[in-house]
Each structure stands twice: as structure tokens, then as C-alpha cells.
Amino acid sequence: ELVRGKVGRVIGNLGSLLVVLKGLPLSYNRDLQEDKELVFDTADTVKEILPLVGDVLRSTKINQDRIAASTSRGFLTATDMADYLVKKGVPFRKAHHIVGKVVLYCSQNSLTFEELGMDIYKQFDRHFDQDIYEVVSLSKSIASKNIVGGTARQQVAYQIEETTRWVEEKKEDLSKLRERCYFV
């Protein structure tokens, strides 16, 4: 709770700083006297909350069962369904409208896309076929995004490796910066 509140303060300082700097010409202005207090307050605040963030991250436990249960009811694959209809020749505007109706129906009847029967799908549009169940499967949707920055396991692993490598390369630079900063 403390971290969340302090983040609001830091974001507020950023907003104030941007307003001070807005429209200034490219030289020194007396307006810049106002930026020091905001910058120093932000530095002090970050110094105060950074150790707490580390503690929070170290003690975080991820409940995968709860995550899986909550994602199955969220219609996260609605865009995939719209793309599916477009690939079958339905104009995007119409596909978007159809998916909206499917989501509404599922919401009103406490169903997921995967629980919806083919006979119901067909009532919404004739282009739906058995392969829709592959499309609306969350795990298959995630795996299908196998592009740079995508959600496929391979792409996520690559991003983790790259980030880890970057952090290792920067550790020495960060140590040097830490020695030079007044607030650390």
C-alpha cells in the first residue's frame, strides 16, 4: 500500500515537471528553478520505496490455478475470434459485431467460448466451424503469437534471456552510478 501511494506521488511530480517545462525555449529560464524541488522529492521518494519493492517481489507467490480460473472467464480470445471470422471472409466490422453478440450471450449465460456449443455458434454466423475451439483456447492463442515481443513461450523465454543478459552487462555501470548518486 505504501509503495502504491508513493508511486502516485512520483507520477504527480512527473506531471508537475512536464507542466513546468512545457513550452520553454531551448535555453535557461527562471521557470527551471521549480524543477529542483520536484526532482529531489522524487529521488528521496524512490530511495525510500525501492527496498520495499525488492521485498515485495521476493515474497510474491503466483497462484497459477487462480490465474487460470480467472482468465477462462474473461473473453481474452475475443480478438482471436474476430480475426478467425475475417480469415473466413467476414468483413472486420461485421466480425466485431458478431463477436460482441457472442460475448454478450456468454456473459448472460455464464459460459466461456469453449463451453459454447457449435449449434449456438452457428446461430451467430454460418462461418463458425469446429476449428473455432482451437482459436478460442487461451493456451493455443498464447502459443500462436510467435513473433518478436509475442506471448509464445519461445518468445517470452527469449525476452527473459535478453533482459537477463542486459542486466548482467549493466551491473558494473549501475554500481558506478550508485557510487556517484547522493541519494543511494
Q: How do residues 5-56 score in pLDDT, each as one tens digit?
A: 888 999 999 999 998 888 777 777 777 778 889 999 999 999 988 888 888 8
Whether 151 and 167 share a structural domain: yes
Q: From 23, 41, 60, give the residue that closes a domain.
A: 60
At residue 20, what is the residue type? Answer: V
Q: From 10, 27, 60, give the residue that closes a domain.
A: 60
Distance, CA of 7 to CA of 145 (rounded, Å): 32
Mean pLDDT by 10 residues, the chain (184 residues): 85 91 77 85 90 87 88 88 98 98 96 95 98 94 93 96 91 80 61
Whether 17 and 52 share a structural domain: yes
Q: Give the chain's domain count.
A: 3
3-state secondary structure the chain: CHHHHHHHHHHHHHHHHHHHHCCCCCCCCHHHHHHHHHHHHHHHHHHHHHHHHHHHHHHCCCCHHHHHHHHHCCCCCHHHHHHHHHHCCCCHHHHHHHHHHHHHHHHHCCCCCCCCCHHHHHHHCCCCCCCHHHHCCHHHHHHHCCCCCCCCHHHHHHHHHHHHHHHHHHHHHHHHHHHHCCCC
Cell of 107: 456473459
Whether 74 and 130 share a structural domain: yes
Whether 86 and 119 share a structural domain: yes
Cell of 145: 503469437
Whole-prediction pTM value? 0.65
Please report whether residue 44 resides in a domain: yes
Give the CATH number of the domain where residue 116 resides. Answer: 1.10.40.30
Distance, CA of 144 to CA of 135 (rounded, Å): 9
Please report whether residue 52 resides in a domain: yes
Please report whether residue 38 resides in a domain: yes
Please report whether residue 36 resides in a domain: yes
Q: What is the pLDDT of residue 24?
A: 77
Please report whether residue 148 resides in a domain: yes
Q: What is the pLDDT of residue 183?
A: 58
Which domain does 149 fall in, by range? Answer: 143-174
Q: From 39, 60, 81, give the residue that closes a domain.
A: 60
